[in-house]
Amino acid sequence: MARILTIIVSYNFEPWIHKCLPSLLDSSYPTDILVVDNNSGDNTTQIIKETFPTVRLIESSENLGFGKANNIGLDIVLKEKYDYAFLVNQDAWLDRDCIANLVKINTDNIGIISPIHYDGTETTLDHGFAVYTKQARTEDSYRICSFVNAAFWFIPNPVIRKVGGFAPIFFHYGEDKDYANRINYYGLNIVLAEEARAYHDRQQRKTDRKAFLKSEFVYHLTEYCNINYTFVKAFTMAVLASLKKMCSSLLKGHTFEAKSYFSIAFRLLVKTSAVYRTRQANKKAFNKIF
Does residue 287 carry a pLDDT above 50? no
Q: Where in the chain is the domain with CATH 3.90.550.10?
A: 4-200
Q: Mean pLDDT across the stretch 222-234?
A: 98
Does residue 2 carry a pLDDT above 70? yes
Quick one: pLDDT band at residue 207, thresholds 50, 70, 90? low
Tens digits of residue pLDDT in 136-167: 999 888 999 999 999 999 999 999 999 999 99
Does residue 209 carry a pLDDT above 60? yes
Tens digits of residue pLDDT in 263-274: 999 999 999 999
The whole-chain average pLDDT of the chain stands at 94
Quick one: pLDDT band at residue 76, thresholds 50, 70, 90? very high
> Residue by residue, what is the 3-state secondary structure of 210-278?
HHHHHHHHHHHHHHHHCCCCCHHHHHHHHHHHHHHHHHHHHHCCCHHHHHHHHHHHHHHHHCHHHHHHH
Q: What is the pLDDT of residue 188?
A: 97
Tens digits of residue pLDDT in 90-125: 999 999 999 999 999 988 999 999 999 999 999 999
Share of the chain above pLDDT 70, in %: 96
Cα–Cα distance for residue pair 125/130, rounded to 1 Å: 6
Tens digits of residue pLDDT in 26-74: 999 999 999 999 999 999 999 999 999 999 999 999 999 999 999 999 9
Max CA separation in the chain (angstroms): 61
Q: What is the pLDDT of residue 172?
A: 86
Whose CA is closest to 200, among 129, 144, 139, 266?
129
Measure Cα distances from 22 to 28, 48, 49 in Å.
12, 11, 14
Q: Mean pLDDT across the stretch 3-17?
A: 98
Q: What is the pLDDT of residue 290?
A: 44
Does residue 208 carry a pLDDT above 80? no
Dihedral-angle region of residue 170 (phi above 0 means left; psi in -120 to 50 means alpha; beta otherwise): beta
Tens digits of residue pLDDT in 120-143: 999 999 999 999 999 999 988 899
Tell me the CATH architecture of domain 4-200.
Alpha-Beta Complex (3.90)
Share of the chain above pLDDT 90, in %: 89
Using a 10 angstrom Cβ sphere, with 0-12 exposed, 13-18 middle and 19 or more buried, the burial of residue 3 is middle
Does residue 20 carry a pLDDT above 80? yes
Quick one: pLDDT band at residue 206, thresholds 50, 70, 90? low
